[in-house]
Amino acid sequence: MSDYFQAPSPTQSSTVTQNLVSAPLADISSTSGLLAVTIAEAASDRKAGDMVLLKVADVSYLADYFVMMTGFSRVQVRAIADAALDKVEKSLNRRPLRMEGKAEGSWVLLDYGDVIVHVMMPKEREFYNLEAFWGHAERLELTNEMGGGRPT
């Protein structure tokens, strides 16, 4: 199994980037919202692709936000997760309650309690399609600078 995944070209379609109900990122003012945005910024610094922020507080008791993104190699998936861990610890003095999948590197889950982070390889992301599962949640817009678009 290869450690790298060929990123789709901008002309290819993806089931991951469905348009759901959107709200501007500026509406986030809670502690959990700040955590979600901090994670998104850290992931953007590591060139995470197809980043999605879902506000699930109104539809689930599991968390307030889900932050989902794609890494195009196992190394990048781990680097994105490490960047999020470091930035959150330095900026907000928080560590995740639980972390899974870092050794494998195809799907890393960081559980901060109020924010759950999924960093996935494209095949895992397409297979599990969490955006569709949580499709009734409010989707928050990300700028292209924050990973809302495809990597270049």
Whether residue 91 is predicted with pLDDT greater than 90 in this model: the reply is yes
What's domain 22-143's architecture? 2-Layer Sandwich (3.30)
Q: By mean pLDDT, which of 30-34, 39-43, 101-105, 112-116 is the weakest?
A: 30-34
Report pLDDT for 1.
Answer: 43
Q: Cα–Cα distances in Å, from 152 out to 90, 133, 142?
A: 29, 28, 16
- The one-letter amino acid code at 19 reads N
Cα(145)–Cα(131) distance, rounded to whole angstroms? 21
Report pLDDT for 15.
Answer: 35
Share of the chain above pLDDT 90, in %: 61
Q: If you average pLDDT over every residue of the chain, what do you get?
A: 81
Average pLDDT for 98-122: 97
Report pLDDT for 131.
Answer: 87
Q: Tell me the pLDDT tens digit for each residue of 40-86.
A: 999 999 999 999 999 999 888 899 999 999 999 999 999 999 999 99
Cβ proximity of 83 and 45 under 8 Å: yes
Cβ proximity of 66 and 54 under 8 Å: yes
Cα(150)–Cα(13) distance, rounded to whole angstroms? 11
pTM for the model: 0.77
Whether residue 16 is predicted with pLDDT greater than 70 in this model: the reply is no
First to last CA, the chain: 24
Report pLDDT for 14.
Answer: 37
